[in-house]
Amino acid sequence: MRRFALLTLALAGSLWAAMLTFGGGVAIRTPWGRLSSRDPVRPLAVAILAGIVLVFLQSRASTDRQQDSRRWASGLAALIAGIVLLAGVRFGTFTAGGADPSGYVSESALWRAGQLTQPAPEWVAMAPWPEAARTAAPLGYMPGPVPGTQVPAYPAGLPLLMAAAHRAAGPDAEYLVVPIAGAILVWATYLFGTRLSTPWGGLLAAGLMASSPPFLMWLVMPMGDIPVAACWTVALVAALSGTARGAAGAGIAIALAVLIRPNLVPLALLVAFIVWSVRPYARIRRVVVLGVAAALGPLVVALINWQVYGSPFQSGYGDLEALYSRAFVWPNLQRYSTWFLSAQTIVPLAGLLAPLCQRLRISRQLVATITVVIPAVTLAFYLPYTRFEDWSYLRFLLPAYPAIFAGLAVVAWNATDRWAGIRWVRPALAVAMGLLVVRSLDYSNAASDLSRSEPRYRLAAAAVADDAPPRTVIVSFGHSGSLRYYTGHDVLRWDLMESRSIDAALAYLTARGYHLYWVGDPSERAVIAARFMGTRFLARLASAPQRTVADVQLIDLGGPSGS
């Protein structure tokens, strides 16, 4: 009866969450007032909590019941992965907005066209201000090695996946890549947790992954953080199989991960160590298979860099010495620690204790590599990297999350085994873990508003495309990538302009017959007011006709005729 009640609650909560997600909410008038339900997070949290308790309570049953428990755990994990996929599609921005999304989406269009190099605007050659070629490159792009060209600045892995999706399923299919990767990541985390502990441990890890605030925040954005985390997790799961086929699968996953984000390539050494250590026989063969498959990633990256940037060792990230510094290490350690504790609480860090547990399904050495070394190395990659001020940059650490959650599953499994004679321990721990999932979902729901705010990039670009004449240059910063992608107009990056050059630049463009627009968020106006104080550009911004579209300001700076 208890099992039936929990199962009913899990299924009912999932269905109710799905209905609210795609139906927009329910309101019912009753004699006691109006009852409404619009937030899918709460019923989803109840469903996950019920599922975790269900599998938790059955984990020490008879062999037949254990098999039954494994089936239910797999089914619930698949259900969670399916909900993640649907939520990613339902709440996805489907917008090439900001720096990274516009860069990735527009680069995927270049891959489809078979030409990554594109011409710089014709006015760049004679422009009278410093670094004119750089100021004409929108966010996500940079001047190419050949004068008069522009090239994308981001790695090719995600744009290639997007281009393939577009070819296979048509327009807007590129925006499905991240939700699909999110579902794969959740399912792979379940398999990972199951391999290290039990089916309920895998379900716990999958639930924590699916409810993680940085995961949910970036599930709706066309960016590489979730796909690269999915690739590394698949590589770890395949490596633990102990077979040559698994080693090949791990190598392919590593190659794709490196294509998406090359800076994490040292993680491949840890995967190779796992392949070597998981079983004593045919070690050399498995490592060779892994190495051959994984080497395709760095090789393709080098070939693309050579073609696009002129050298196998040059990338679109520019000067690494400016991006990496020992001075960033301590501030970033403080930031990432504070952000993680705020978003996830301290509880998942108990997974770092997994190597100390008594019952382990694989060697203690491997458990330590997975649950301690992989998270530590992932963090170490980003400590010397440039400083950020927002918790959303926990997205860089997503490749380590499955290992942390799987470690927590090991600790929870050992805790319930140690105190198996105390009847209340198992349900209490199940409820505690379920509440952790609920808390993460609630944090995510309160902190992220991307699905509602990002479409402003597309709407503002559509308004400019309707109003602007063919020969238009758009003065912009945060919207420069989306404006270039959606409108095809040239852009001038004011954030890269010197205050003494901006007036000369606008006069030069007007003299060449270009109409000028300024497009940006209201917050950018304060920066411009301080940066360009005393310039005619600032005076024109204040006096020119303007309108607001989706909270984005569009200011018509006029053209050759003064219109």
The 10s digit of each residue's pLDDT in 110-158 is 999 999 999 999 999 999 999 999 999 999 999 999 999 999 999 999 9
In the chain, the number of structural domains is: 2
Give the residue-averaged pLDDT of 155-162: 96
Shared-domain flag, residues 163 and 185: no
pLDDT at 408: 94
Q: Which of 391, 419, 452 is the endpoint of a domain? A: 452
Shared-domain flag, residues 336 and 400: yes
pLDDT digits (tens, 9 = 90+) for 65-85: 566 668 878 888 998 899 899
Cα 341 to Cα 446: distance, rounded to the nearest angstrom = 16
Shared-domain flag, residues 343 and 381: yes
Residue 531 has pLDDT above 70, yes or no: yes
Q: What is the band of 314 on the pLDDT scale with cuts at 50, 70, 90?
A: confident
Shared-domain flag, residues 505 and 438: no
Shared-domain flag, residues 242 and 354: yes
pLDDT at 70: 80
Shared-domain flag, residues 121 and 220: no
Q: pTM for the whole thing?
A: 0.90
- Integer CA distances (angstroms), 325 to 264, 381, 395, 446, in order: 17, 11, 20, 34
Shared-domain flag, residues 426 and 503: no
Q: Which of 397, 417, 452 is the endpoint of a domain? A: 452
In-domain check, residue 133: yes
Shared-domain flag, residues 218 and 309: yes
Cα 257 to Cα 247: distance, rounded to the nearest angstrom = 15
In-domain check, residue 441: yes
In-domain check, residue 563: no
Range of the domain at 319: 2-93+174-452
Q: Which of 435, 452, 469 is the endpoint of a domain? A: 452
Nearest to 428 by CA among 49, 27, 8, 32: 49
In-domain check, residue 320: yes
Query: Looking at the DSSP assignment, which residues form a beta bridge with residue 149?
Result: 119
Shared-domain flag, residues 238 and 148: no
pLDDT digits (tens, 9 = 90+) for 213-256: 999 999 999 999 999 999 999 999 999 999 999 999 999 999 99
CB 254 within 8 A of CB 231: yes
Higher-pLDDT residue of 282 and 151 is 151
Shared-domain flag, residues 180 and 209: yes
Residue 433 has pLDDT above 80, yes or no: no
Average pLDDT, the chain: 88
Higher-pLDDT residue of 456 and 61 is 456
Q: Which of 58-62, 141-145, 355-359, 557-561 has the lowest mean pLDDT?
A: 58-62
312 three-class SS? coil
How close are the terminal C-alpha atoms of the chain, in Å?
Answer: 76
Give the residue-averaged pLDDT of 297-301: 96
Shared-domain flag, residues 479 and 532: yes
Shared-domain flag, residues 216 and 310: yes
pLDDT digits (tens, 9 = 90+) for 484-495: 999 999 999 999
